[in-house]
Amino acid sequence: MENQQLFPEPSRELSEKRKSLVPEVSDAFRAFSRAVFKQGALDEKTKQLIAVAVAHVTQCPYCIRSHTKLAVRKGATEQEIMEAVWVAAEMRAGGAFAHSNLALDEFEKSKV
């Protein structure tokens, strides 16, 4: 059985094709991304650690790889990256836990 990847590897060809289809939106997104991740009230390493955490919640493999790499370049340690992932896991689980109130509330309203 052939080992197939679920997601294609990023490539220059795919990036260029994506940009060629709607160049003005692609350019705007890239400018937005650069602005978001530049040094501000939060330092660049912290922003990349936030991105690593969010990428785990959104479950984007491309984002996990790219923002982990960028976080390392900005000085993040393996422990900081793993702590960011654990924060993401807690927030994801915490959301499900907190939203259980909706199910309990609806159950009570649905009782006849």
Q: What single-letter DSSP state applies at residue 20?
A: H
Average pLDDT, the chain: 95
**Can you tell me the distance from the alpha carbon of 71 to that of 58, in angstroms, rounded to the nearest whole number?**
18
Q: Is 79 left (phi over 0), alpha (psi -120 to 50) or beta?
A: alpha
pLDDT at 7: 87
Contact of 44 with 38, CB cutoff 8 Å:
yes
Q: Has residue 61 got a pLDDT over 70? A: yes
pLDDT at 3: 64
Q: What single-letter DSSP state applies at residue 87?
A: H
| Entry pTM | 0.84
pLDDT digits (tens, 9 = 90+) for 66-76: 999 999 999 99
pLDDT digits (tens, 9 = 90+) for 26-47: 999 999 999 999 999 999 999 9
Q: Which residue has the higher pLDDT, 4 or 11?
A: 11
Q: Has residue 110 got a pLDDT over 90? A: yes
